[in-house]
């Protein structure tokens, strides 16, 4: 393995391109050079003949059509971006990691792509996903160690950023598909509140949970992307005070109980160290007993998830069922066996869980929950994407979450710290996350530009 070259952060790259200190054509060449050199081993991108030619033409058009004054250029002017291959992009096929005919899966371009293009971004290509964003892994390898999974289902997007191929990539999360790959690959992953980014033009997994998000090397990068992608984004402490006030450190809550006990020993030991580090930096950290019915919460989510997966694939599965992979077929079959009554009962229970979790946090004065992003480092197993259990309750409640690189396991692979905010308080969450990222960095955790490894 060789040490990953330090790449510019998204904020640095975007600023250079907007200020004319860099050129979109050069940005395309850098990204394509890196993809050509590294992706044969990492396999983060869906192969695309003529990628460089397409991107160079788009960059030249962007330069010719761009505002004459650098100060007037949009936020992501000339920035190449990776797009998870369940998101429709005009001119690029959508395969969703499957063997189904791409023309069957096609559809109008997603709103998230319209927003990226309006912000001046260039679409670097499609990134690998688990089949239909369920659990059957794609070919992507972890850039830190190719024998280990990068996580899923947004595997390609996380690995593309970790390996320095792009400074921004788009993924989705239904249960743990953004946060877990961020932790496994050692990058920052942000999943907004459910519904904060429109999901039209995205092949559904389970619409009650599906959420678009993004990866970058630091919190400032995902915040820049969020300001472009999220509905009604508000910047600045004066505009939106929020529950954390934006002028003080958020009060942090540790969700004590059976949920936290699902993390592995190494993740829990690191999490204990992280908590003490934050306390010593002046943060208030409170243990709050919650989710004593965690097993029922898990059952409720998967009842809804599998039911909705099966309904989303009713037509395709009837026509092409023999082309689905074993894991996806099993999920669909499970969903087909769930009746309407069980599904609607699960929806009622989820609503009650959301209310109870919000009330428990409010009663304890919690602004941000903290927990391990995953049960441990990336498993040495390419047949699985790992478990999403540490993300499950937060996705169930539709809450915004972010994973920060937070040290390494004994095998040298990254670990992540998960921060979870109140519903709709995405701006406050990222403001607080930036301060926590600084504490982690100052105390020897991975810095904003990360140093992963590639084969």
Q: Residues 113, 192: contact at Cβ < 8 Å?
A: no
Chain-centre distance of CA 151, in angstroms? Answer: 11
Whole-Å CA distances, 306 to 231, 268, 392, 430, 437: 28, 30, 14, 31, 35
Q: Tell me which of 9, 154, 177, 373 is the catalytic residue.
A: 177
3-state class (DSSP) for residue 211: strand
H-only helix segments in 84-149: 102-105, 111-118
Q: Tell me which of 9, 84, 126, 388 is the catalytic residue.
A: 84
Q: Residues 226, 430: contact at Cβ < 8 Å?
A: yes
Whole-Å CA distances, 131 to 60, 98, 137, 308, 324: 34, 5, 7, 16, 8
Residue with the two structure tokens 């429109």: 198
Asked about 177 being catalytic, the answer comes back as yes
Q: Tell me which of 98, 153, 155, 395 is the catalytic residue.
A: 153
Determine phi and psi for 104, rounding to 5 degrees.
-70, -35
Asked about 395 being catalytic, the answer comes back as no
Whole-Å CA distances, 392 to 47, 175, 259: 32, 5, 9
Of 318, 315, 332, 301, the residue nearest 131 (C-alpha): 332
Whole-Å CA distances, 41 to 48, 133, 237: 16, 22, 44
Asked about 84 being catalytic, the answer comes back as yes
Which residues does the annotation mark as catalytic? 84, 153, 177
């Amino acid at each position: 393995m060789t040490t990953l070259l330090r790449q510019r952060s998204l904020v640095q790259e975007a600023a250079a391109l907007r200020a004319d200190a860099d050129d979109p054509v050069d940005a395309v060449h850098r990204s394509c050079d890196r993809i050509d050199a590294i992706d044969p081993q990492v396999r983060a991108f869906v192969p695309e003949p003529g990628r460089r030619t397409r991107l160079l033409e788009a960059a030249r058009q962007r330069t010719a059509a761009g505002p004459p004054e650098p100060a007037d250029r949009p936020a992501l002017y000339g920035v190449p971006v990776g797009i998870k291959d369940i998101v429709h992009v005009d001119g690029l096929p959508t395969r969703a990691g499957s063997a189904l005919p791409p023309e069957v899966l096609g559809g109008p371009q997603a709103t998230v792509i319209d927003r990226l293009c309006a912000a001046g971004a260039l679409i670097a290509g499609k990134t690998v996903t688990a089949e239909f964003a369920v659990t059957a892994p794609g070919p992507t390898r972890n850039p830190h160690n190719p024998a280990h999974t990068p996580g899923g289902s947004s595997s390609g997007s996380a690995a593309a950023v970790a390996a320095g191929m792009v400074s921004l990539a788009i993924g989705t999360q239904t249960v743990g598909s953004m946060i877990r790959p961020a932790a496994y690959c050692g990058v920052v992953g942000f999943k907004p509140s459910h519904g904060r980014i429109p999901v039209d033009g995205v092949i559904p997994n389970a619409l009650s949970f599906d959420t678009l998000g993004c990866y970058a090397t630091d919190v400032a990068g995902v915040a820049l992307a969020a300001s472009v992608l999220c509905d009604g984004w508000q910047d600045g402490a004066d505009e939106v005070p929020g529950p954390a006030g934006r002028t003080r450190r958020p009060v942090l809550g540790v969700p004590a109980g059976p949920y936290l006990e699902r993390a592995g020993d190494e993740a829990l030991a690191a999490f204990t160290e992280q908590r003490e580090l934050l306390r010593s930096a002046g943060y208030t950290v409170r243990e709050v007993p919650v989710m004593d019915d965690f097993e029922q919460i898990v059952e409720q989510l998967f009842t809804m998830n599998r039911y909705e997966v099966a309904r989303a694939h009713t037509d395709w599965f009837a026509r092409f069922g023999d082309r689905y992979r074993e894991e996806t077929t099993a999920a669909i079959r499970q969903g087909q066996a769930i009746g309407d009554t069980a599904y609607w009962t699960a929806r009622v229970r989820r609503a009650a869980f959301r209310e109870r979790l919000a009330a428990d946090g409010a009663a304890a004065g919690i602004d941000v929950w903290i927990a391990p992003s995953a049960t441990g480092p990336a498993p040495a197993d390419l047949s699985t994407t790992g478990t999403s259990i540490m993300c499950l309750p937060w996705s169930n409640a539709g809450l915004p979450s972010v994973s920060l690189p937070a040290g390494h396991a004994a095998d040298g692979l990254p670990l992540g710290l998960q921060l979870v905010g109140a519903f709709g308080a995405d701006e406050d969450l990222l403001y607080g996350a930036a301060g926590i990222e600084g504490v982690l960095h100052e105390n020897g955790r991975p810095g904003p530009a990360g140093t992963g490894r590639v084969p």
